[in-house]
């Protein structure tokens, strides 16, 4: 990999991010606890619960993310670029 992108994300309670694509695998580090609904653009979705300090690997794909908690959600996305 030639480049690594670090992006800080903050989702207000009950908000959804825009659908987006990750062409390569990526990692998400959670800075706060919360529940996230992740929806693949093919229609499948899942809800995951995280605590501050969780680090999760994700495969490439097209996703939409929603904070389904009553509190803000903060996380850092680490993407590998070629």
For residue range 34-54, what is the model confidence (pLDDT) as tens digits? 999 999 888 899 999 999 999
The two beta strands, 26-30 and 55-58, are: antiparallel
Give me the mean pLDDT over the 60-67 stretch.
Answer: 94
Give 82's pLDDT tier (boundaries 50, 70, 90): confident
pLDDT > 70: percent of the chain = 99
Please state, in angstroms and rounded to a whole number, the distance separating the CA atoms of residues 33 and 69: 9
Q: What is the pLDDT of residue 45?
A: 94
Q: What is the pLDDT of residue 1?
A: 60
């Amino acid at each position: 990999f030639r480049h690594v992108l670090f992006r800080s994300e903050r989702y207000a309670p009950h908000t959804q991010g825009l659908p987006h694509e990750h062409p390569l695998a990526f990692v998400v580090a959670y800075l706060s606890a919360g529940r996230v609904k992740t929806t693949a653009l093919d229609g499948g979705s899942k809800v995951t619960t995280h605590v501050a300090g969780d680090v999760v690997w994700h495969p490439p794909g097209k996703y939409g993310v929603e904070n389904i908690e009553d509190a803000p959600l903060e996380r850092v996305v680490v993407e590998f670029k070629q």
